[in-house]
Amino acid sequence: MDALNYYQIAQDWISSWNNLDIDGIMNHYANDIVFYSPTVIQRWNIAEGKLEGKDKLREHFLKGFEIATGLHFELLHVLTGVDGMTIIYKRETGKVVADVVQLNEMGQAIIVKAYYSR
């Protein structure tokens, strides 16, 4: 993949979030996704902040739809690496988030680690 493809993936992901398109969002994740985020700790009281599998991640995101008021992501940067990218975006809350994403050969996320500004 080249930098342009990474940017297009990130743009599509942001657009899906902004449209509350759960199927569009989930298309970006492999079935065996491993997802780490402080939101997992907050929503599910899972101390390590880790979810495994697309079904659990879908449930996590749907719960986020219920909680977030005026959900909106603004893409700030896409940093590219050897096997993935980091998507830096600003949420409707004003927090800046960096999602470090490892991708499979089909361009789907297999490991995601989310980092939030305070």
The domain segmentation of the chain, as residue ranges, is 3-116
Q: What is the pLDDT of residues 6-21, one digit of tens each?
A: 999 999 999 999 999 9
Model pLDDT, residue 7: 94
Model pLDDT, residue 3: 63
pTM of model > 0.75: yes
Low-confidence ranges of the chain (pLDDT < 50): none
Q: Virtual CA dihedral for 36, 9, 110, 92, nearest 10 degrees? A: 10
Q: Which CATH architecture has domain 3-116?
A: Roll (3.10)
Q: Please check whether residue 81 is in contact with residue 2, taking contact to mean a CB–CB distance below 8 angstroms.
A: no
> What CA–CA distance (Å, rounded) separates 10 from 1?
13
- Long-range contacts at 113-117 (CB < 8 A, ≥ 24 apart): 113/36, 113/37, 114/35, 114/36, 114/37, 114/38, 114/39, 116/38
Q: Across the beta sheet with 73-80, what order do the strands follow? A: 50-52, 29-36, 109-116, 96-103, 84-91, 73-80
